[in-house]
Amino acid sequence: VSATRGDADPGSFLQLATYEKGSYSPGAGLPRRALWYFVNESVFRSGYFPLSSLKRYLLRLFGASIGTNVVIKPHVNIKLPWRLAVGDDCWIGEEVWIDNLDQVTIGANSCISQGAYFCTGSHDPRQRTFPLITRPILIGNGVWIGARAVVLGGVTVEDNAVVGAGATVTKNVPGNHLVVGGPVRDLGDIRPVGL
């Protein structure tokens, strides 16, 4: 392990100066994104505005599809509202982070508990350019995502499934099933020899 500060770094596999976004586009121009950044920080993340009605209104204004009676607790972080659809009577708990570079769709009557993280973005760590990969997340109707669960891009959680607290969901969850856990697995050395 080595750490350098400000020096050239010929030893790193990743070369972030060559980072590739590929075909990714945020789906809105800079003024709209800047305005949403301010609204997200001040109204959604701050906790000063506990009322869901204002948040439903603002999300719709910025292009989200939001059903009736959706509850949005304080300290929620939403990346791109125009890539969010939430069905009727859903609950979004404190500190839920919807990192929706790609579409996130949540069905009706679903409960997303505190601190859940919807992670639509990833990178290919086998390439030095660290290319961005984005994939959508689909949560069905009547689903419960437990506190601090992580749901990765490309995952569908089918109707009436439950994801236990702290789970890491990398694959689709069948309807009505309960899934828990998420121990890390060492998948071996992914770097070329000598790096």
3-state SS, 21-82, equals CCCCCCCCCHHHHHHHHHHHHHHHHCCCCCCHHHHHHHHHHCCCEECCCCEECCCCEECCHH
Sign of CA dihedral 25, 29, 32, 36: positive
Window of 5-13, 31-39, 158-166, 187-195 that interacts with ligand COA by CB under 6 A: 158-166
Shortest distance, position 161 Cβ to ligand COA, whole Å: 11
19: phi then psi, degrees, rounded to nearest 5: -45, 135
Shortest distance, position 142 Cβ to ligand COA, whole Å: 14
Shortest distance, position 153 Cβ to ligand COA, whole Å: 21
In the three-class reduction of DSSP (H, G, I as helix; E, B as strand; rest coil), residue 16 is classed as helix
Structure tokens at 87: 């069905």
168 binds ligand COA (CB under 6 A): no
- Catalytic one of 32, 33, 75, 123: 123
162 binds ligand COA (CB under 6 A): yes
**From candidates 159, 164, 168, 175, binder to ligand COA by CB under 6 A:** 164
Give me the residues that bind ligand COA (CB under 6 A), please. 113-114, 146-147, 162, 164-166, 178, 180-181
